[in-house]
């Protein structure tokens, strides 16, 4: 009897869920609008890893432009003739400079040559602004020859372009000229040599930027890379890291105060990604801070994101330091707390305030309207909570309107995670930053991760995540598809997960330490990965409110019996976006069943957009940047139910209108 009853229940269940021919019914509830989707929901996270800043987004083409690399002030430079390094230059925090003197014979030459970051990439016919601080220490005037060259050229002349620069007088002055290379080259060098006159000439802060930077800023950003960020329409922009916020020692933490003001006097900082992995060493990787906090705020504003700076909490990287000695004792934290308060003043204070005036002096009298700040990156244990607390108290007292983000540690679950979440509640942060670089199985099993999160506590910031396949630790379509699938759970739980940012953002193909990454580039080109395409689809079809979407009254999270489907739905006024990731190898027939409509109301299919990930290991690349991009497909029908096919290993957005 009992068995028959169970059987009939089972049959009823299948009849309702799996329609004939393996049709999966997705019930989209239109009776009630769900939680609002925060404007910060999808965003970007920038860290100077993989040469993302110097040699990447920051458009400066000269490496070690201030002769300050610590192991060798001439690292990155070839010198010839009579060159000296001196250290009483015009910029107190970058005191080194070079003196070019007569080589001693009219047929010899004195000069310096810089090969940039993996070479200097230049586009033929475009303009490049060369600038240098210079003087003639003994007085009088000298001439420099400045050229972009191709040392590997078979032409008679190495130069792609050259120009003469006259330097005069004993006072340091900035000189500049425009170079226009005759041809495109990814690995040019900048060559400067003493010509004519041959009076000793001092050079400092040797710089070369494309004139055509993102929005034309002089201390600007590489256009294609900034555009790849803007095209995501990110709602939140977390910077400047990551582990570099913490530093290997506290003294090498990212110190925002050193990253603002005139670029010539921003002191160099080391970069932990230089030496983090002994099997991928980059001995010439430092942080010039040319891309500093002012530039980060400006970029946030220009791409329409809320800025989210992350600051050191006084802990050096806990992965790199065992024991307590490396960290700032709790009773000595005040200067670090002051740094956080000063940063808020830098961003939001009036132009007459101490730090607001620095911002205004850099060209932005209006506040940047900072709303969020994160204290600490991947910190853990009581070492962290003891330090976070006084930060939170001080920020709340001075700036109660600022939302504070704390950390749940480096793991997506486990002991530290379980310790930190209740602690974050107790301390009363507004959002908790979760990080997960996890394998396929994890992403496939976490579709429901946020469904039962506490609705009353702090919100979630999924601040760093990416699918890292075991044995396939590079970008590929299948990993991107699983990210898309997982993100349906973020979208469904938009009331809890209010920010999410993939990581890392950028990687130079010749200079990476960590992969996968969202955007890859070389000196001239870049491409947007399939993971970027996923992020872009979520940004483009973000919607304004969640809608309930169920299969047999259950959320669609790839669980048993759901055919490898993950799905979510949002509304945007009269528009409805249904996202479906099919992680299975089989096509799936789905019926979108709209509930909660009035009798006469219908829903109309408008179109579909789909990312085909069926070639699991395939990815875009520099030579084929658009190999895998979303394509529109015809999606039609009108009624309370609309059928659709979902190909194997694909991510689809169904666009409808009510």
> Which is nearer to ligand AHR, 47 or 264 (by Cβ)?
47
Region 399-418 residues binding ligand AHR, contact defined as CB under 6 A: 410
Asked whether position 136 contacts ligand AHR by CB under 6 A, the answer is no
Q: Choose which of 81, 121, 181, 241 interacts with ligand AHR (CB under 6 A).
A: 241
> Which is nearer to ligand AHR, 320 or 559 (by Cβ)?
320
> Which is nearer to ligand AHR, 464 or 619 (by Cβ)?
464
**Shortest spacing between CB 377 and ligand AHR, in angstroms:** 5
Contacts of 491 (CB under 8 A, 6+ apart): 37, 41, 538, 546, 568, 570, 579
> Which is nearer to ligand AHR, 76 or 411 (by Cβ)?
411
Number of Cβ within 10 Å of residue 538's Cβ equals: 25
**Shortest spacing between CB 201 and ligand AHR, in angstroms:** 42
Q: Choose which of 29, 220, 504, 630 interacts with ligand AHR (CB under 6 A).
A: 504
Residue 347, H or E segment: helix 334-348
Asked whether position 243 contacts ligand AHR by CB under 6 A, the answer is yes
Selection from 441, 551, 433, 435 nearest residue 485 by Cα:
441
Asked whether position 514 contacts ligand AHR by CB under 6 A, the answer is yes
* Stretch of 29-37, 239-247, 259-267, 452-460 contacting ligand AHR, by CB under 6 A: 239-247
Question: Which of 68, 378, 434, 464 is the catalytic position?
Answer: 378
Q: Which two tokens stand for residue 259?
A: 């990253």
Give me the sheet containing 82-86, strands edge to edge: 82-86, 97-101, 201-210, 128-135, 173-179
**Shortest spacing between CB 156 and ligand AHR, in angstroms:** 47
**Shortest spacing between CB 114 and ligand AHR, in angstroms:** 28
**586 catalytic residue (yes or no):** no
Contacts of 165 (CB under 8 A, 6+ apart): 130, 132, 134, 143, 144, 145, 146, 175, 177
Q: What is the DSSP string of 473-522?
A: -S--HHHHHHHHHHHHHHHHTTTTEEEEEES--EEETTS-SS---SEEE-
Q: What is the DSSP string of 82-107?
A: EEEEES--S-TTS--EEEEE--SSTT
* Stretch of 90-98, 168-176, 235-243, 424-432 contacting ligand AHR, by CB under 6 A: 235-243
Selection from 236, 258, 241 nearest residue 371 by Cα:
236
Residue that the structure tokens 């802990």 belong to: 315
Selection from 552, 558, 581 nearest residue 569 by Cα:
581
* Stretch of 34-42, 236-244, 575-583, 599-607 contacting ligand AHR, by CB under 6 A: 236-244
Identify the burial level of 108 via C-beta atoms within 10 angstroms of its C-beta, where 0-12 means exposed, 13-18 middle and 19 or more buried: exposed
Identify the burial level of 11 via C-beta atoms within 10 angstroms of its C-beta, where 0-12 means exposed, 13-18 middle and 19 or more buried: exposed
Q: Choose which of 167, 250, 503, 609 interacts with ligand AHR (CB under 6 A).
A: 503
Q: Choose which of 28, 49, 112, 432 interacts with ligand AHR (CB under 6 A).
A: 49
Contacts of 641 (CB under 8 A, 6+ apart): 591, 592, 593, 594
> Which is nearer to ligand AHR, 150 or 378 (by Cβ)?
378
Region 324-343 residues binding ligand AHR, contact defined as CB under 6 A: none
* Stretch of 140-148, 215-223, 237-245, 471-479 contacting ligand AHR, by CB under 6 A: 237-245
Asked whether position 209 contacts ligand AHR by CB under 6 A, the answer is no
> Which is nearer to ligand AHR, 202 or 464 (by Cβ)?
464
* Stretch of 22-30, 57-65, 92-100, 240-248 contacting ligand AHR, by CB under 6 A: 240-248
Dist. CA 66–CA 60, nearest whole Å: 12
Q: How many residues bind ligand AHR (CB under 6 A)?
A: 13
Selection from 605, 484, 491 nearest residue 544 by Cα:
491
Region 442-481 residues binding ligand AHR, contact defined as CB under 6 A: 464
Q: Choose which of 47, 115, 339, 612 interacts with ligand AHR (CB under 6 A).
A: 47
Selection from 241, 229, 222, 225 nearest residue 535 by Cα:
229
Region 345-384 residues binding ligand AHR, contact defined as CB under 6 A: 377-378
Q: For ligand AHR, which residue has the nearest CB?
A: 242
Q: Which two tokens stand for residue 392?
A: 């939170």
Selection from 589, 496, 652, 407 nearest residue 17 by Cα:
589
Q: Residue 308 — φ and ψ, nearest 5°?
A: -135, 85
Region 416-435 residues binding ligand AHR, contact defined as CB under 6 A: 435
> Which is nearer to ligand AHR, 77 or 486 (by Cβ)?
486
* Stretch of 162-170, 238-246, 452-460, 584-592 contacting ligand AHR, by CB under 6 A: 238-246
For residue 22, what is the DSSP state?
Answer: T
**Shortest spacing between CB 270 and ligand AHR, in angstroms:** 15
The residues that are catalytic are: 378
- Residues engaged in binding ligand AHR (CB under 6 A): 47, 49, 241-243, 377-378, 410, 435, 464, 503-504, 514
């Amino acid at each position: 009897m009992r068995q028959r009853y169970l059987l009939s229940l089972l049959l009823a269940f299948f009849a309702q869920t799996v329609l004939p021919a393996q049709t999966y019914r997705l019930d989209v509830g239109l009776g009630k609008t769900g939680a609002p989707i925060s404007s910060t929901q999808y965003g970007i996270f920038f860290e100077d890893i993989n040469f993302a800043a110097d040699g990447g987004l920051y458009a400066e083409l000269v490496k070690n432009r201030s002769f300050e690399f610590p192991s060798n002030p001439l690292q990155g430079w070839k010198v010839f003739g009579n060159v000296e390094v001196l250290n009483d230059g015009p910029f107190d925090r970058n005191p080194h400079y070079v003196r070019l003197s007569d080589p001693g014979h009219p047929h010899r030459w004195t000069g310096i040559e810089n090969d940039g970051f993996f070479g200097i990439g230049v586009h033929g016919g475009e303009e490049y602004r060369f600038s240098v601080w210079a003087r003639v220490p003994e007085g009088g005037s000298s001439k420099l020859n400045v050229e972009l060259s191709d040392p590997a050229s078979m032409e008679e002349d190495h130069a792609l372009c050259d120009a003469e620069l006259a330097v005069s007088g004993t006072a340091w002055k900035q000189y500049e000229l425009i170079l226009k290379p005759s041809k495109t080259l990814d690995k040019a060098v900048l060559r400067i040599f003493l010509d004519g006159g041959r009076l000793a000439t001092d050079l400092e802060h040797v710089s070369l930027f494309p004139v055509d930077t993102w929005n034309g800023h002089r201390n600007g950003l590489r256009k294609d890379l900034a555009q790849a960020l803007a095209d995501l329409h990110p709602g939140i922009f977390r910077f400047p890291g990551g582990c570099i916020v913490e530093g290997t020692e506290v003294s090498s933490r990212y110190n925002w105060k050193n990253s603002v003001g005139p670029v010539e006097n921003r002191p160099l900082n080391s970069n932990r990604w230089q030496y983090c992995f002994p099997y991928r060493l980059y001995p010439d990787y430092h942080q010039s801070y040319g891309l500093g906090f002012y530039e980060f705020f400006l970029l946030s504003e220009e791409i329409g994101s809320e800025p989210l700076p992350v600051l050191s909490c006084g802990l050096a990287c806990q992965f790199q330091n065992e024991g307590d000695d490396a960290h700032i004792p709790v009773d000595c934290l005040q200067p670090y707390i002051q740094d956080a308060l000063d940063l808020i003043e830098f961003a939001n204070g009036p132009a007459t305030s101490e730090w607001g005036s620095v911002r205004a002096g850099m060209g932005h009298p209006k506040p940047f309207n900072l709303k969020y700040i994160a204290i600490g990156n991947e910190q853990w244990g009581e070492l962290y909570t003891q330090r976070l607390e006084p930060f939170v108290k001080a920020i709340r007292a001075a700036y109660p309107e600022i939302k504070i983000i704390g950390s749940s540690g480096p793991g997506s679950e486990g002991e530290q995670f379980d310790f930190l979440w209740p602690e974050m509640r107790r301390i009363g942060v507004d959002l908790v930053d979760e990080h997960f670089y996890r394998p396929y199985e994890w992403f496939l099993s976490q579709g429901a991760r946020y469904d039962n999160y506490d609705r009353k506590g702090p919100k979630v910031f999924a601040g760093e995540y990416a699918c890292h396949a075991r044995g396939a630790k590079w970008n590929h379509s299948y990993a991107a598809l699983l990210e898309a699938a997982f993100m349906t759970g973020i979208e469904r739980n938009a009331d809890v997960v209010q920010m999410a940012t993939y990581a890392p953002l950028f990687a130079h193909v010749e200079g990476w330490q960590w992969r996968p990454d969202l955007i890859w580039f070389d000196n001239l080109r870049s491409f947007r990965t399939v993971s970027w395409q996923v992020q872009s689809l979520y940004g483009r079809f973000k919607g304004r409110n969640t809608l309930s979407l169920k299969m047999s009254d259950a959320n669609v999270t790839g669980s048993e019996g759901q055919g490898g489907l993950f799905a979510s739905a949002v509304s945007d006024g009269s528009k409805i976006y249904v996202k479906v990731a099919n992680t299975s190898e089989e096509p799936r027939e789905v019926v979108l069943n709209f509930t909660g409509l009035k009798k006469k109301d219908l829903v109309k299919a408008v179109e579909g957009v789909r990312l085909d990930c069926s070639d699991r290991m395939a990815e875009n690349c520099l030579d084929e940047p658009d190999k895998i991009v979303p394509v529109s497909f015809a999606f039609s029908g009108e009624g309370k139910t609309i059928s659709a096919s979902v190909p194997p290993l694909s991510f689809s957005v169904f666009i409808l209108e009510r």
